[in-house]
Amino acid sequence: MAGPASAAAAASAHRAGLAAAGPHDLTAFPGLARGLDLAVLRAIAAGVDAAAGPGPWTADEVADAFAAAERHRWIPGHWIAALCDEGMATARGSAFRLTAPPRRRDLSAARRELDRTRAALGYPPALTAFLLRTLRELPRLLRDEVSAQALLFPGGDTAVAEAVYRDNPLSRYLNAAAADLVRRLRPADPAGLRVLELGAGIGATTADLLPALEGVTAEYRFTDLSPFFLDLARDRFPQRFLRFGLVDFSTGLPDQKGPFDLVVAANTAHNAPHVPRLLGQVADLLAPDGRLLLIETCREPRQSLTSMPFLLSGRVPRQDPRAGTERTYLTRREWREALHAAGLRLLVDLPHPTDPLDALSQRVLFAAR
Ligand SMILES: C[S@@+](CC[C@H](N)C(=O)[O-])C[C@H]1O[C@@H](n2cnc3c(N)ncnc32)[C@H](O)[C@@H]1O
């Protein structure tokens, strides 16, 4: 697939994505996503104010005020940087202060705005409940008395993860576009396609891919770092061509026996300490003309500031373009460069930069060896 063929594939995947997203006014989404981000940030400012007062303080003094655990001490500084970016805090040297100390009624307004924008973006109420829970628990999260994972999967319940990775218009767009792209694959080997999914998690993308691959697939290797997700998937997916395996891709992929016709990594490849290296290892596992399907984020959404940073604390330091920064994700340009450096040819990159969904910063990248 190259040139006009990939343009046709992109157009078809985009149509499939829009159909799955449902009857929403997507042109309103950039403004709504920004509203949600700002509401979360206002609530974080109120949390900082409650612990440390309106300032001036240094980032370290805020970490002290929260009695933050050693591994999480960087997080208040990360929030303060976001508050400064949005004009909610100002800096003088290494000291900061909140621009307008939050009042009780501002916090109630932020919570209402958070729920309004969540609903208008088509996320289930579970997302509001989760965000409010993390906001309430910020002090205990920082002290490491409760983990972000425990709040994300309370009692093993996957409703929040489903809300974030599946049950909303943006995820429906991405997962349906991905399914449309893989539906076109035909096995070179008459035995059928061999597929490897990395960091498959709750299977939010897998659930759309499996029906698209049914009938042409010999083996779909569903892998993750955590046995919890493998057990969930064994219960959830009946397809006989599924195989399961524990794989930590941050240490390479030496045990995976290629070649694979398709490798999938949805919302997970950014966990690699060196993304270009991971993509190079994936490229080595692909059959000639095999495909890599990525769903990835290109900018940290502020709405994730009460959870994502806690999941990152203590991880192996990033050794790629993110080295020395607090960035979780590569930029769109860095993702494209990393694919290129791995010898992969980008065929489809959706949504188009002029599409309103582009502002939500998650994308489907489909590349060929
Ligand atoms: C945000 S979730 C996305 C899950 C999934 N792709 C989905 O769409 O439902 C990220 C997943 O990546 C997995 N993960 C994180 N780091 C990993 C690693 N180094 N190797 C393998 N899996 C990893 C986590 O266990 C989690 O299931």
- C-alpha 141 to ligand 1 mean position (Å): 21
Instruction: Indicate left, alpha or beta for 324 from its phi (over 0: left) and psi (-120 to 50: alpha).
Output: left
**Is any atom of ligand 1 closer than 6 Å to the C-beta of 249?**
yes
Report whether pLDDT(2) > 50: no
As to burial, measured by CB atoms within 10 angstroms (0-12 exposed, 13-18 middle, 19+ buried), residue 105 is exposed
> How far apart are the C-alpha atoms of 302 and 299, rounded to whole Å?
9
Report whether pLDDT(316) > 90: no
- Using the atom order of ligand 1, give the atom closest to the CA of residue 251: 19
> How far apart are the C-alpha atoms of 109 and 329, rounded to whole Å?
30
- Using the atom order of ligand 1, give the atom closest to the CA of residue 272: 19
Tell me the average pLDDT of the chain: 95
Mean pLDDT, rounded, for 257-267: 96
**Is any atom of ligand 1 closer than 6 Å to the C-beta of 250?**
yes
pLDDT confidence of 106, banded at 50, 70, 90?
Answer: confident
Instruction: Tell me the sheet residues that pair with 291.
Output: 262, 368
pLDDT in tens, 30-62: 999 999 999 999 999 999 999 999 999 999 999
Give the domain ranges of the chain: 4-24+168-368, 26-121+123-165
Which of 162, 249, 268 for a ligand 1 pocket mutation test, highest count of atoms within 8 Å of Cβ?
A: 268
With tokens 């897998």, the residue in question is: 206
- Closest by CA to 269, choosing from 291, 298, 244, is 298
**Is any atom of ligand 1 closer than 6 Å to the C-beta of 175?**
no
Report whether pLDDT(234) > 80: yes
Whether CATH 3.30.428.10 fits 4-24+168-368: no
Joined tokens for residue 286: 């692909």
Between 193-197, 206-210, 310-314, the lowest mean confidence (pLDDT) is in 310-314
**Is any atom of ligand 1 closer than 6 Å to the C-beta of 241?**
no
Instruction: For residue 214, report the phi and psi dihedrals to the nearest 5 degrees.
Output: -60, 140
Q: What pLDDT does 1 receive?
A: 46
Q: In this prediction, what percent of the chain has a pLDDT beyond 90?
A: 91
Strand, coil or helix: 328: coil
pLDDT confidence of 4, banded at 50, 70, 90?
Answer: low
pLDDT in tens, 113-147: 999 999 999 999 999 999 999 999 999 999 999 99
**Is any atom of ligand 1 closer than 6 Å to the C-beta of 199?**
yes
- Closest by CA to 59, choosing from 42, 82, 80, 41, is 80
Between 59-68, 180-189, 277-286, the lowest mean confidence (pLDDT) is in 180-189
Gyration radius of the chain over CA positions: 21
pLDDT confidence of 101, banded at 50, 70, 90?
Answer: confident
- C-alpha 95 to ligand 1 mean position (Å): 37
As to burial, measured by CB atoms within 10 angstroms (0-12 exposed, 13-18 middle, 19+ buried), residue 219 is middle
> How far apart are the C-alpha atoms of 327 and 318, rounded to whole Å?
9
Q: What pLDDT does 195 receive?
A: 98
Q: What pLDDT does 114 receive?
A: 95
> 239 vs 172, 216, 224, 275, CA distance in Å?
21, 12, 18, 31
